[in-house]
Amino acid sequence: MVQLRVMTPDKERGEDVLAVLLPLLQACTALRVSEPTPLTHRGDGLRVVLDVQLAGVPTVRVEREDGPAAGRTRTGRGGAPARRQRRPALPPGG
């Protein structure tokens, strides 16, 4: 879990920053943001924590390319071209 903290000894200034920051984070469709949770501490000021998570798996859009399939390459793990697997030769019968 990712947490963002807004901490300042000046409570009014912290609330002003939070008033700008929170709508920006909530408007981002790639993120899910929790409501601010106040943290307790001694003295004046502001201490707030926000939990931030990715909204989900990004959508990938692929446009179709018409053409011969021979130009396309299949890939294996890590994006490397896939190799044909050969079976080991059988031992000679005896």
Q: What is the tens place of the pLDDT at every residue in 44-53?
A: 899 999 999 9
Quick check: is 81 in a domain? no
Range of the domain at 37: 2-54
Distance of alpha carbon 79 from alpha carbon 13, whole angstroms: 49
What pTM did the predictor assign?
0.54
pLDDT value of residue 71: 52
- Is 7 a domain residue? yes
Tell me the pLDDT tens digit for each residue of 2-40: 999 999 999 999 999 999 999 999 999 889 999 999 998
Distance of alpha carbon 3 from alpha carbon 49, whole angstroms: 6
Domain contains 6 = yes
| Calpha distance 55→26 (Å, rounded) | 11
Residue 93 lies in a domain: no
Q: How many domains does the chain have?
A: 1
pLDDT of residue 65: 75
pLDDT band at 43 (very low <50, low <70, confident <90, very high): confident
